[in-house]
Structures are given as C-alpha cells and as structure tokens.
Chain A
Amino acid sequence: MGASLANTPWGVLVILLPLAGALVCFLWPRRSVPLGLVTALGVVACVAGLGWQVAEQGVQRYAVGGWGAPLGIDLYADGLSLLMLMMTALVGLGISVYSSGYFDRKTATVFWSLWLFLWAALNALFLSADIFNLYVTLELMGLAAVALVALAGGADALIAAMRYLLVSLLGSLFYLLGVALLYHSVGSVDIAILAQQVEPLPAVWAAVGLMSAGLLLKTALFPLHFWLPPAHASAPAPVSALLSALVVKASFYILLRLWLEIFSPGDAAVGQLLGLLGASAVLWGGIQALRQTRLKLLIAYSTVAQLGYLFLAFPLGTSVAWKGALYLLFSHALAKAAMFMSAGNILRCCGHDRIADLDRVARRLPLTLTAFTLAGISSMGLPPSGGFTGKWMLLDAALYSGQWWWALTLILGGLLAAAYVFKVVGYAFTPAEVTHEVSRVPARMEWTALVLALAAVLLGLFTPWPLALLDIGLPFGGGYAG
C-alpha cells in the first residue's frame, strides 16, 4: 500500500482532478457547489501527496506520454513548484469555501467550472517543464480569469475585463515570439535542455527580452501595472482574491524559472533595472493605496506595491534573497486573499466599500476585522508574520551585499503599508455620519478570511519547513551569488 502510494503520479492527478471537476460542474451546473467543494478537497489531498513524494524521493520528473523531452512534454516537481502548488491549494481551498457562501445560485452555476479550470491551469503551469506548454497554460489561466472578472456584470467590471484580456493577450504574444526564437535557435522547448544548450546568441537575447517583457506585463510590474487595480477591484470578492493571490504570481513564477534556469544573467545591470522598477512599484503602489477612497481599490494598489518587493531579489541574486522573495510571495498570497475576502464581507454587510463610511464595522464584523488586521500585519512586515520573515531575509541579503538602497525601500514600503492598513482599521472603529442598512454575512465567509489571515501570520512562526522545501532541487544553486 505504501509502495503504490509512493509511486502514484500525484503530479498528474493534481492537474487531472480539477479538470475533471470542471467538466462535471459544467455538465451539472445545479450541483456545482458540492461538486466544486469535493474537488477542492481532492486537489488539496493530491498536493499533499505530491509534497510527501517530493520530500521523500526528491525531485520528480514525469514524462507525459512516455516520450520524454525533447520530443514530449515533461512535468517537473521540485521544491519551488511544490511551494507554489501548496500556496495555490491553501488559498484555493479558502476561496472555494468562501465562494460557496458568496455567490447566488445563478452565478454559482457559472463560477465553479471556470474556477476549477483556472485552478487546473495554475497547477499545470507550476508543474510544466516546457516553455510552449507554459504558453498554453498561461492562456487557459488568462481566459478563465477574464471570464471570472466579467461575472460581476456591471460596466466597470466589463471594461476592466476587456482591458485585462487585451493586456493578457499582448503579454502572451510577446512570450510566444520569444518561445519561437528560442526553439529555432536551440531546437527544443524543454527547460532542462534549454538550460544546458543555450548560448549567448542574438536570438537568445531577443527571446529573453521578449519573454521577460510579456511576463512583466502579466505580473503588473511598474510601470506596466495600469490594468491591475481596475480588474482586481471590480471583480467579485473571491475572484479578486484569487487574482491577487494566485494569478499574478503564476507569471512571476515563470519569469523566475526562466531567469534561474536558462537566462542566468552575467549582466548585473538588468537585475538592477528590475530592482529599480520593483522599488518604484513599492513606493508608487503604497502612495496610491493611501489615496484611495474605496477599500477594494486600496487593496488592489497594495498588491501592486507588494509585487514590487518580489523584484528586489533580482539585483541581490543570492539564495537568501530568492527565498525571502518567495516567502513574501507565499505570505502575500494568504494575506491578500484574506484582505479581499474581508472587503467582500464588508461589501456584503454594508452594501458599499467606501473607507470613510465604514460605520463601526469592527463591532458588526469582528472576525472580518481581525482577519484584515492580521493580514495587514503580514503586509507591513511586522513580526511574527510570514511577511516579516520574507522582508527580514531580503533586508539581510541587501545589507550583506552592500546594496543598502533596497533595504531603505523595504522599510519605506512597510511604513506605507502601515499607513494604509491603519487608515482602514481606524475608520472601521468610528461611526459614520450616515448609518447604513446592514445585511447578514454568512459565517463561512468570515471564518475563511480569518483562517487565511492566521495562516499568513503562522507562516512566520513555522519557517524552517518551507525553507527546507525550497532547497529540494536547488533551483537557486549554491553557485549563483549576485
């Protein structure tokens, strides 16, 4: 029994199960909610199985169709992919439970199939070792995300979805042109083979530039972030959560993979440029977040800022810096999902999300406000949260390599985050001038927000295990140091 469990191709199941679930939800839309929840639990179990398999047996490489690269497509699970899969599983489970209480019956018939397809795309993306396969998963993810944004239905959501779709397609086409150039220079689309055989030809440089440009557009790095706040703010709350927590991280993951495995730049200037853009994102996003009058827009700009932190690892380049950025990525996913869920609860309760009119929400939705505050603590980088651990590692790397200006950015970013978090919390305790009608908020919506926020904080307490996970497969390689 143990032997067969150890040999089960969990990686394939992690992709197949949500696909099958999505198909079944499409065939029986009335039963979407229970089917979707069961599938979500199944996916979490499969990810746990894969995690156990990787921890016991090391890196897993699976040749789909039995052909193996370069002819076929390989699935590759190392510590980094596993971290992303676990993040997706945790947040995905939370979003599934939250959505079961959020959507009305009519929207629920459409939501679940799209959400499960998106989850399948994310899992397929994190496990893929083939740059063309990554393109297909990116497109599946992008179309599902756009369709989910448009579920909100109003003019704002439709316009934001249209802009998001155009941006997504533009990014994908840049990426695909890069894939074309790489294939025709090296002769394969498999990442491992590319890593071995790539040479500094002009075509490869062009491919690097094109693919990075496309992926940076999809990751909304300043100044290519213009599409993100409207899309994330006008979507329904659980969709905002999954967009900010998961979808933007997927393109960052691809960029990271390509950067670490294939592009290994000898050129420090590019790293500094990315770091500079990241720092600008942190500061610009933070300032814009402070200026917002609507809660969901504030949280969306906070996403722009937090994504900037991730790019500070590029100029630093040490193993500690990468791990810090990934830690930030994970805790941000949990915290941002909790924040958007809290905003959704407030929206459901009070009928609006204007920050100045948050009429004693603290008293009406205590769990929600606790969730928001805990998530805010992780965003600010206060101990003992996951955000603190990530920032600490980045600070450490910055000071160690003498690039103190990134440390300054980290501190300033934390201060800005504190400002906008406390702005919201402050208004949540004060009565507004005009009292609004309150609606009931289902318990599961409040509890999922709280659980995810708690997880973000706990991530700071249980650090050794995720960090050890990242060492499996050593994508960061001991040799790559700035």
Chain B
Amino acid sequence: MSHEFLYALLGVGLFTLGLYALIVHAHLLRKILAINVMGSGVFLVLVALGGRTPGAPPDPVPHAMVITGIVVAISATALALALMLWVHAKTGRARLPEERLE
C-alpha cells in the first residue's frame, strides 16, 4: 500500500470524524468546524488518490477541483459564521433550538 492510500484513508477518517461531531455537538461553532473537517477529509481523498502516479507528476485535475472546493468552503464558512453570530445576537444562544411542531 503506497503512501497515497494512507493519506486517502486519513481523509476518510476525517470525514467520518467530522460527521460524528456535526451530529453530536449542539454548539453552532462546533458544527461549522465539523463541516470544515469533513470538507478537508474529502479534499484529502481527492488529492491523495490523484498522486498515484509513480515517477510522474500528480494528476492536476483533482488539484484544481480541490482549489475550487476550498474557495467554496471558505465562502460557505464565512456565511455560516455570520449567520451564527446573528443567531446568537437574536436568541442569546449559539444553538439550534429543538424542533417545535406547531
């Protein structure tokens, strides 16, 4: 098993860890961080598996995809953080309230 697969497995681990944290933690900042960890996991899988080119430079297409993905993740995180701050400002807590069926 070459080292690229190790990185890809790490990416899978990050993805699952982020998913667990997203579901379990109630604080919004933790949820946003969890999404970021998941995103990093997916990017790691993309890039690592693109390096399975012995003796040649890695595949540039996954690299470009990940650059795009990082920019999208930054934009989404910025919006999420701003929303979290405003939720906190309006409700006093940075948590999503439990579902109320009216």
* A contacts B directly (C-beta below 8 A): yes
Q: Name A residues whose Cβ lies closer than 8 Å to a Cβ of B.
A: 132, 135-136, 139, 142-143, 146-147, 150, 154-155, 158-159, 161-163, 165-166, 169-170, 173, 176-177, 180-181, 183-184, 226, 230, 288, 291-294, 297
**A226 with B99: CB separation less than 8 A:** yes
Residues on B with beta carbons closer than 8 Å to the beta carbon of A136:
68, 72
Q: Which residues from 29 to 79 on chain B have a C-beta closer than 8 Å to any C-beta of chain A?
A: 31-32, 35, 38-39, 41-42, 45-46, 49-50, 61-62, 65, 68-69, 72, 75-76, 79
**A159 with B91: CB separation less than 8 A:** yes
Contact A139:B72 (CB < 8 A) given known A166-B80, A177-B45 = yes
The 4 residue pairs across chains A and B that have the minimum distance between CB atoms: A155-B90, A184-B49, A180-B46, A162-B83
Contact A297:B99 (CB < 8 A) given known A146-B79, A158-B86, A158-B90 = no
Q: A161 to B80: give the CA distance in the assembly, Å.
A: 9
| B68 vs chain A, min Cβ distance (A) | 6
Residues on B with beta carbons closer than 8 Å to the beta carbon of A155:
87, 90-91
- Beta-carbon nearest neighbor of A291 in chain B: B101
**B102 with A297: CB separation less than 8 A:** yes
Q: A302 to B86: give the CA distance in the assembly, Å.
A: 30
Q: A288 to B45: give the CA distance in the assembly, Å.
A: 41
| B85 vs chain A, min Cβ distance (A) | 10
- Interchain residue pairs with CB less than 8 A apart (13): A136-B72, A139-B76, A142-B76, A159-B87, A161-B83, A162-B84, A163-B96, A166-B22, A173-B38, A173-B39, A180-B62, A183-B46, A288-B101
Q: A154 to B42: give the CA distance in the assembly, Å.
A: 34
Residues on B with beta carbons closer than 8 Å to the beta carbon of A146:
79, 83
Q: A288 to B49: give the CA distance in the assembly, Å.
A: 46
Residues on B with beta carbons closer than 8 Å to the beta carbon of A154:
90
- Beta-carbon nearest neighbor of B76 in chain A: A169
**How many A-B contacts are there with CB distance less than 8 Å?**
87
Residues on A with beta carbons closer than 8 Å to the beta carbon of B75:
139, 143
Residues on A with beta carbons closer than 8 Å to the beta carbon of B97:
159
| A361 vs chain B, min Cβ distance (A) | 20
**B96 with A170: CB separation less than 8 A:** no
Residues on A with beta carbons closer than 8 Å to the beta carbon of B22:
166, 170
Q: Which of the residues A158, A183, A184, A297 comes within 8 Å of B83, measured between beta carbons?
A: A158
Q: A180 to B66: give the CA distance in the assembly, Å.
A: 10
| A290 vs chain B, min Cβ distance (A) | 12
Residues on B with beta carbons closer than 8 Å to the beta carbon of A184:
46, 49-50, 62
Residues on B with beta carbons closer than 8 Å to the beta carbon of A161:
83
Interface centre among A169, A170, A293, A297 (most CB of B within 10 A): A169
Q: A154 to B87: give the CA distance in the assembly, Å.
A: 9
- Beta-carbon nearest neighbor of A155 in chain B: B90
Q: A139 to B61: give the CA distance in the assembly, Å.
A: 19
Residues on A with beta carbons closer than 8 Å to the beta carbon of B101:
288, 291
| B28 vs chain A, min Cβ distance (A) | 7
| A139 vs chain B, min Cβ distance (A) | 5
Residues on A with beta carbons closer than 8 Å to the beta carbon of B46:
180, 183-184
Residues on A with beta carbons closer than 8 Å to the beta carbon of B68:
132, 136
**A183 with B62: CB separation less than 8 A:** yes
**B76 with A162: CB separation less than 8 A:** no
Q: Which of the residues A132, A162, A170, A180 comes within 8 Å of B45, measured between beta carbons?
A: A180
- Beta-carbon nearest neighbor of B64 in chain A: A132
| A424 vs chain B, min Cβ distance (A) | 15
| A226 vs chain B, min Cβ distance (A) | 6
Q: Which of the residues A147, A180, A291, A297 comes within 8 Å of B42, measured between beta carbons?
A: A180
